[in-house]
Structures are given as C-alpha cells and as structure tokens.
Amino acid sequence: MTRARWTSETTPLPPHALAWLSRRVGLGEPFAEVPLTAPESALSADAFTALEAVCTVSADAQDRLARTGGLSYLDLLRHRGHGTPAVPDAVVQPASPDEVVEVLKICVEHDVAVVPYGGGTSVVGGVEALRGTKSAVVALDLAGLGSLVSVDPVSRVAVLQAGVTGPEAERLLGEHGFTLGHVPQSFERATIGGFAATRSAGQASSGYGRFEDMVESVRVATPVGEWVVGTAPASAAGPDLKQLVLGSEGLFGVITEVSVRVRPKPYGPRYEGFVVDGWEAGVDLVRTLAQDGVPADVTRLSDVDETEVALELAGAKAANVKRYLRLRGIKQPCLVILGWECRSRSATMSALSGKKVVRLGRAMGAAWVHGRFNGPRQRDALLDAGVCVETLETATHWSRVSELRDEVRSALARELGDPVIMCHISHAYETGASLYFTVLVPRDLEDPVGQWERAKVAASDAISRLGTITHHHAVGRDHQPWLEHEIGSIGLDVLRAVKAQLDPTGILNPGKLL
C-alpha cells in the first residue's frame, strides 16, 4: 500500500543556486538523512483483526514509516536524527465512506487513536501520529477514497472523495470540461479531504476563492455516526455548520466526500510578470486590484529581497532584466505575477494603465508557473547543503500589512542573526492580504531544533499581535500556542464542546488544534 514520501521526489539545486546560497546565506555542514526505524506496533491483535474484517490494514514497518510525520522543517530534522518521529502502529486503508464509519467504531471500541492521512503534506505537525492517552494509534490513509462521485453540469457542482489528490481532481473533472482551480503549493500530493480539513488556499485564490469558498457540502464520518452538512448554495437555517467541519483538522470526524463548485476549464490561461518600484507601491497596486474587483486569478507580489533572489536564480537572463529595470528607473524592484484563468485580463490590465508598472511579459509568468511546486521539493537539497529553511504565513488587513511584515522580519533577524527573509503576498482580499515568508539561514550545528523553535516563537508572537496565526497552513501542533490569543478561551471551549459531542472518547487526531 506504500505511497512515496514527498522528500523522495526531491529536486537538486542547480549550480548557480548553490553558488548564490554559498555567497549570501553560507553553506553549513552536509546533513544526511538517518534511516528511520519503526518501533514494534502497539496495536492489539484484537483491534488488528477487527479492522482487517472491514478493510486493508498493515502493520508493516515500511507502510508505517511512509506515513510518519509531515513536511515541516522539524519533520525533516526528525528524519535526520534530531527528535523522534511518531510512527503509527498501523495503517488502515478503507475503500468507502461506510468503511471509514466502521473503522471509527472499531477504534472507539478498542480505544485506538486515529490520525486521518491524505497526502501527508502538513507543515504544522497536523499528521503526526500522536496517540494521546490511547494505547495505540493508526494512520487512516484515505487513498482508497479516490473517486469522482458525481457531476451536476448545470449547477456546476461535483462530488469528490476525500482521497483524490490535486492533479487527480483536475484530471477527473477535466473529463467533464471542468476545473476546481485549487492549486496550493502542495497540489501534487495533497488531497481534497486535506484541503477541506485545513481551509487550504490555492495560488489562484484571488480568482477561484479559498477552498472553503468552493465547498457546497461535506460528508463526515464521526464516532457518533455519519453527518452530511450543507444543502444549498446559501442558507439561513441556523449557523453554517459546514464551516465548523472545514478547518477541523480531523478532530471532529473524518471527511469522506466533499461537494464542490467547479468552473469551466480555462481556455488558454495566461501568466505574466511585472515589476513595481518598492514594496509599498506593490501593496497599493495589489490592494487596488482587489478592492476594484479586478484582481487576476493569480495575484502575487514579492518584496525586494524575494525579487532579488528570484532574479538571481533565473540565472543568465537576470542581468538583462536588471539592466532593463534600471533603464526604466526602477530602484527597488518588486516582482508581481498576474495569472488569468477564469477572470478578465482586460479588466485587470485597464486598472494597471497609468500606474508605474514595468511589464516583463509572459516568459517571467511561464518561469513562475514552471517553478510553482519546486519549493517543497528543494527543501531536502537545502538541508543537504546545511541550510535551515522554513516558511511562515499569515493574513491581515491592508492597513497592517507593512507593519506586520516589518515586525516579523525584525523578530527573525533578532533570533537568527543575518537570515535571508523573503516575503510575498499571494492572496489578495478586499479587506486585506496574506503574507508568506521564506527564511534561509545556516543551520545551527549543535541545536538545529532549538534554533528554529526560538525563531518560530518570536515570529509567531509578532504575527499573532497583528494578524492571524495561520492563513492557510492550519494549526496542527505547531500553531497551538497562539490559538487562544486568536479565538479566545471561549473559542477554545466551544471547540472542546463540539469535540466532546462528536468524538466523546477522544480517538480523533489527539494533540492537534486544541
């Protein structure tokens, strides 16, 4: 039943990138993977037999190790001998929503913790196989729920099972002429169920909306039975309980099917690069596009540092681009990527007219599309080169965007010495935007875990003061300390009350979110 770990799909760094790293960040000690071993499975023979009567179960070490942890820097460090990864005691692979309900019943009976597992791409510890107070923990792998259940072409609604990956969703919908348009950086591996459980946001969210905006209804297996929530495009029948399932990170139930809004497959999507002079000018531009209702589907703004790195890594062509920008009087180049799939390009372009924006054309857009999934794949190569690399993200209102960016940069610089910090806006709303930071610094040889943990705390404190602790990575384990500040102790109590109602014995994803 094995599915490869993302990290085995690692992309090596090209020589000019290594040269830049060595010059700007500094290379650390090479830092090899340590082969993980699985402890003996703690799942009782009784529980194993009961689960086996329902669906495929494996206690094989390779199957268990392949579902051990996610893809955060701390996860990667665990694979290099720093920290102990939590290995599930077995992998359960049901093949239908009904089987998921049965699996949960058995796990309640045998007091076994259940960690729902989709693509395993969590970067916040969301799929760590913690057992909490239970005697054992299983990874509930949803790969067997891989179908397109139905398409309503008139209403443009499709029902997808939870284990369908991003590319597979596009392939299945594409056969009917539709697209979901949800393309986060984890797209290649992440699943429909994971998108829903974490309130994912895709790279074209300015056009298609966040994943929760696309959801019409969800089918959830809970320990107290199956729950289908959501009936109509909109309703005033009490609170929108669907929104309680979206973002519940597997604590309230296992999402088995999601009914989503789809759109016609774009005919000739187009991506272009632009440059503005300075971060503030860029923020103003992106804000205007969003507030005037004419953003591109993909609307991204990189700050000066990220732009510099992007140009460096573009290799030989970069020198020409830089010369051209100097000729056009651009002192502080900030890259803007705009991509149109379903929205009107001409509406966006008219809004740009009269603004100081330099067009770099479609080649720059194509370069972005080409490299859009590279980030996660290059992280192992960076670790190999002794570099600590991690990302942070948030969202806030427009009036606080620049202050928040400044505060996070200061916090990181305070903790990490002289890191490279790159920042971009990738999701523009009428009232505010996301901010996404990438941090590169030579790894602390003695204490790489502590090095990042201290930086994370400092940055998260700043984020939490001025924005949300997470715009699209979810809470998992890593953002828990800041959740109370965000939703209040009353909010935590409400989540606990819902949890107690739906999962009274607490088998579901212990140690996450709450």
Residues 333-392 touching a second copy, rule: CB under 8 A, are 342-344, 347
Could you say which of 399, 406, 418, 445 contacts a second copy (CB under 8 A)?
399
Q: Which of 59, 58, 51, 53 is nearest to 106 (CA)?
A: 51
Q: Does 498 bind a second copy (CB under 8 A)?
A: yes
Q: Does 249 bind a second copy (CB under 8 A)?
A: yes
User: Shortest distance, CB of residue 494 to a second copy, whole angstroms?
Assistant: 6
Q: Does 108 bind a second copy (CB under 8 A)?
A: no
Give the residue with the Cβ less far from a second copy, 452 or 482.
482
Could you say which of 70, 123, 479, 511 contacts a second copy (CB under 8 A)?
479
The residues in 11-70 that bind a second copy, with binding defined as CB under 8 A, are none
What is the x/- site pattern for a second copy, positions 167-206, by CB under 8 A? -------------------------------xxxx-----
Q: Does 232 bind a second copy (CB under 8 A)?
A: yes
Cα gap 227→217, rounded to integer Å: 10
Give the residue with the Cβ less far from a second copy, 102 or 216.
216
Q: Does 273 bind a second copy (CB under 8 A)?
A: no
Q: Does 280 bind a second copy (CB under 8 A)?
A: no
- Kindly state the number of chain residues that form the binding site for a second copy, as judged by CB under 8 A: 85
Cα gap 460→454, rounded to integer Å: 10
> To which H or E segment does residue 396 belong?
strand 387-397
Alpha-carbon distances, residue 21 vs 258, 313, 416, 501 (angstroms): 42, 10, 16, 51
Q: Kind of pairing, strands 420-425 and 298-302?
A: antiparallel
User: Shortest distance, CB of residue 446 to a second copy, whole angstroms?
Assistant: 33
Q: Which of 184, 343, 171 is nearest to 270 (CA)?
A: 343
Give the residue with the Cβ less far from a second copy, 216 or 303.
216
Helix residue ranges per DSSP H, 372-479:
374-384, 401-416, 448-466
Could you say which of 5, 134, 405, 473 contacts a second copy (CB under 8 A)?
473
Give the residue with the Cβ less far from a second copy, 144 or 194.
194
Q: Tell the residue number behind the tokens 């268990």, with chain if given.
A: 64
Q: Does 267 bind a second copy (CB under 8 A)?
A: no
Stretch that binds a second copy, among 89-97, 115-123, 173-181, 217-225 (CB under 8 A): 217-225
Q: Which amino acid is at 470?
A: T
Give the residue with the Cβ less far from a second copy, 60 or 227.
227
Cα gap 187→180, rounded to integer Å: 12
Q: Does 311 bind a second copy (CB under 8 A)?
A: no
The residues in 135-174 that bind a second copy, with binding defined as CB under 8 A, are 152, 154-157
Could you say which of 248, 256, 302, 509 contacts a second copy (CB under 8 A)?
248
Could you say which of 20, 31, 340, 398 contacts a second copy (CB under 8 A)?
398
The residues in 62-91 that bind a second copy, with binding defined as CB under 8 A, are none
Q: How many CA atoms lie within 13 A of 227 on its CB side?
A: 19
> To which H or E segment does residue 166 belong?
helix 166-174
The neighbouring-strand residues paired with 158 are 151, 260
Give residues with Cβ within 8 angstroms of 213, minimum separation 6. 261
Q: Which amino acid is at 461?
A: D
CA 286 to chain CA mean position, Å: 22
Give the residue with the Cβ less far from a second copy, 92 or 433.
433
What is residue 340's three-state secondary structure?
A: strand
Q: Does 500 bind a second copy (CB under 8 A)?
A: yes
User: Shortest distance, CB of residue 222 to a second copy, whole angstroms?
Assistant: 7
Q: Which of 258, 55, 264, 265 is nearest to 149 (CA)?
A: 258
Give the residue with the Cβ less far from a second copy, 39 or 491.
491
Q: Which of 94, 222, 99 is nearest to 507 (CA)?
A: 222
> To which H or E segment does residue 101 belong?
helix 97-109
Cα gap 425→462, rounded to integer Å: 17
Stretch that binds a second copy, among 68-76, 312-320, 381-389, 488-496 (CB under 8 A): 488-496
